[in-house]
Amino acid sequence: MSNPTIPNQALPESSAAEPSESFSDMLSQYEKSHARKREDGGKQLEGTVIAVSADSVFLDIGFKSEGILPLTDFQNAGETPKPGDKMPVSVKGRDPEGYYQLTRAKVERPKDWSALAKAFAEKATIVGTVTGVIKGGLSVDVGVRAFMPASRSGAHDAAEMEKLVEQEILCRIIKLDVADEDVVVDRRAVIEEEERSVKERRYSEMKEGDTVSGTVRSLTDYGAFVDLGGVDALLHVSDIAWSRVSKPADMLSVGQQIDAKVLKISTDAGKRRISVGVKQLLPHPWDAVPEKYRVGERVRGTVTRVAEFGAFVELEPGIEGLIHVSEMSWGKKLRSASTLVKPGETVDAVILGVNAGERRMSLGLKQALGDPWADVAQKFSAGSVIDGPVVSITKFGAFVRLAEGVEGMIHISDMSTEKRINHPQEIVKVGQLVKAQVLAVDTEKRQLRLGIKQLVPSGLDEYIAEHKEGDVVTGRMMEVSDGHARVELGEGIQARCRMDGSGAEEEKDNGVASDSALSKLNSKPDLSSLSSMLQARWKGATPGGDARPERVRTGQIRKFRIARLDPATKKIELELA
């Protein structure tokens, strides 16, 4: 019995053969690519632009991966690359993402010892391929095996050195011994030279006032260093924002992309320095202050810093006002603003003044609390009695606190009726609680006069209590001046008399000098006049039978009529009877 014939069928592709074939193809392709790469490395290739990003230009160079050029290389040359453009380029390495790093300059790869000797003599830059990490550095293929010390690799640590393996690099021969086949290369010198070239180009491109883009490279307490594409610039903390910035880290982070304005380019000790600012790209907050803030308005802000002379308050970012220490309290005399406010506190204040030109604003803290003198005339009217502590003493009187921000003064002459006082401390002490009478109030000058002696009963009080306006009394002329006279009505009781010019003029007409009259201030009473007046009282006639009134002079005893009695101020006004 024969086996049945199995018709021919299409066999499936061998799963074993295909991988072997594919691997072989892949290996062959890799070797060809690698060989071409090593063969073409450093050669001038033709690249075709296939894409343009914000900072890079991508080119097809015929390799499996695209090549990449910095966009700034074209911008600096005044060129605008676009897809389809062709240009000669050379490969100088690979970046971490696998793209070939290109250069528009032609870089050769030596092929023999004579080419190496020529490159060494001319200190030319050549192309090499890092083949591995060895003790003390790297092994580099530059047509022959070369050694690159770790210190000249441009890498910062072992991890960076590992990343260079199988990468094409640009380097320079620093030692060549053909006999011993000893070649030493330096990559760091090429990198530093390229960095200097980039810096010089960037410095020549920038000018003060330009707007530039950069990356925050590092942060310090005083600012941030920004990479502007090969050169570093300092962004000072005061130029980060219009508001006060305590720490740059509060506003920026490493790696952050920022736009800034070039403020200054200077050369210091052979080093070029660039200062940039971010806030200068924004409108200044003070430009809107005249329309936004008015004198007398109530505002709220945060205390940013405190000095002895006052406190600075931020009303909004970039807008600060000063509260002077004298505008903080109606009553307390502050030596330092720190005794009343602290940084970080929120306070209400009143705008006292705005100077937009100098960008200054003065604020008042006490004004926001209300003026204690607004109702002083009603609360402490003349004649009322108050109690309060003595807060300070001077040689002419003592100051008493009536309320927060309201003080009255007791003059030394209003302290006692019993004795002559040389200094207020003989009667009162600081901190002593005293009772006094309000004698006068001047709200415009913010002055309030008090008296202690007015509350102590005296002969004057009794005299005022026993008399009334219109009474005729007897007194002695103590002093005569133009239009007025001081009259003694009894021991310690004095009054003021209106002369209407009659007595004084008569004395002048009789040739009696006013100075002579004043010199008799302390003279004894004129007993002859008193005798004459008493005799006239009993006989009902004037002495000598003369109807003319007797002339006024110091020391004379006469009759007066009480024109006004003021028990509150203890004042008596007279007129000649």
Number of domains in the chain: 6
252 and 309 fall within a common domain: no
402 and 428 fall within a common domain: yes
Query: Which token pair is 543?
Result: 């002495």
Looking at residue 43, what is its pLDDT?
61
**What pLDDT digit, counting tens, does each position of 126-160 carry?**
888 899 999 999 999 988 899 999 999 988 888 98
**What pLDDT digit, counting tens, does each position of 343-398 carry?**
999 999 999 999 988 889 999 998 888 888 888 888 888 888 989 999 999 999 99
- The answer to whether residue 526 scores a pLDDT higher than 60 is no
363 and 379 fall within a common domain: no
- The answer to whether residue 7 scores a pLDDT higher than 60 is no
Query: Which residue among 217, 251, 281 closes a domain?
Result: 281
Residue pair 392/425 in contact by the 8 Å Cβ criterion: no
Looking at residue 15, what is its pLDDT?
36
**What pLDDT digit, counting tens, does each position of 161-173 carry?**
998 888 888 899 9
274 and 351 fall within a common domain: no
**What pLDDT digit, counting tens, does each position of 464-518 carry?**
888 999 999 999 998 888 778 899 988 878 899 988 754 444 444 443 333 443 3
C-alpha 210/C-alpha 202 separation (Å) is: 12
339 and 382 fall within a common domain: no
Question: Nearest CA to 63 among 163, 146, 142, 168?
Answer: 168
Instruction: Answer yes or no: is 558 within a domain.
Output: yes
- The answer to whether residue 548 scores a pLDDT higher than 80 is no
324 and 309 fall within a common domain: yes
92 and 62 fall within a common domain: yes
In angstroms, how far is CA 277 from the centroid of its own chain?
A: 17
Instruction: Answer yes or no: is 9 within a domain.
Output: no
C-alpha 458/C-alpha 573 separation (Å) is: 18
Looking at residue 554, what is its pLDDT?
85
CA dihedral 540, 542, 544, 545 (to 10 degrees): -70
More confident: 437 or 330: 437
Q: Which long-range contacts (CB under 8 A, 24 or more apart) does 276-280 make?
A: 276/212, 276/214, 276/226, 276/228, 276/233, 276/234, 276/235, 276/239, 277/235, 277/236, 277/239, 277/240, 278/235, 278/239, 278/240, 278/241, 279/239, 279/240, 279/241, 279/242, 279/318, 280/239
Instruction: Answer yes or no: is 360 within a domain.
Output: yes
**What pLDDT digit, counting tens, does each position of 289-300 carry?**
888 899 989 999
- Going by the DSSP 8-state scheme, the letter that residue 550 receives in this structure is P
Looking at residue 235, what is its pLDDT?
94
Q: Which domain holds residue 85?
A: 40-103
85 and 150 fall within a common domain: no
Instruction: Answer yes or no: is 483 within a domain.
Output: yes
C-alpha 341/C-alpha 344 separation (Å) is: 9
Looking at residue 474, what is its pLDDT?
92
* Greatest CA separation for the chain: 198
Backbone angles phi, psi at 221, to 5 degrees: -70, -25
Looking at residue 150, what is its pLDDT?
93
The average pLDDT across 24-29 equals 47
Q: For the chain, give the mean pLDDT.
A: 80
Query: Which token pair is 216?
Result: 């925050």
Label residues 380-401 b or e (16+ Cβ within 10 Å = b): beeeeebebebeebeeebbbbb
Instruction: Answer yes or no: is 28 within a domain.
Output: no
More confident: 296 or 35: 296
Instruction: Answer yes or no: is 2 within a domain.
Output: no
- The answer to whether residue 523 scores a pLDDT higher than 70 is no
Q: Which residues pair with 312 in a beta bridge?
A: 305, 322
CATH number at residue 363: 2.40.50.140
In one-letter notation, the amino acid at residue 546 is D
Looking at residue 198, what is its pLDDT?
76
491 and 572 fall within a common domain: yes
267 and 311 fall within a common domain: no
383 and 363 fall within a common domain: no
Query: Which residue among 64, 84, 103 closes a domain?
Result: 103
C-alpha 293/C-alpha 81 separation (Å) is: 52
473 and 569 fall within a common domain: yes
Instruction: Answer yes or no: is 29 within a domain.
Output: no
More confident: 529 or 90: 90
Helix (H, G, I), strand (E, B) or coil at 41: coil
Looking at residue 270, what is its pLDDT?
66
Query: Which residue among 368, 400, 429 closes a domain?
Result: 368
Instruction: Answer yes or no: is 12 within a domain.
Output: no
Backbone angles phi, psi at 329, to 5 degrees: -145, 140
Question: Nearest CA to 314 among 329, 336, 324, 299?
Answer: 299
Question: Nearest CA to 55 among 108, 95, 4?
Answer: 95
**Sign of the CA dihedral with 420 first, then 422, 428, and 434 last:** positive
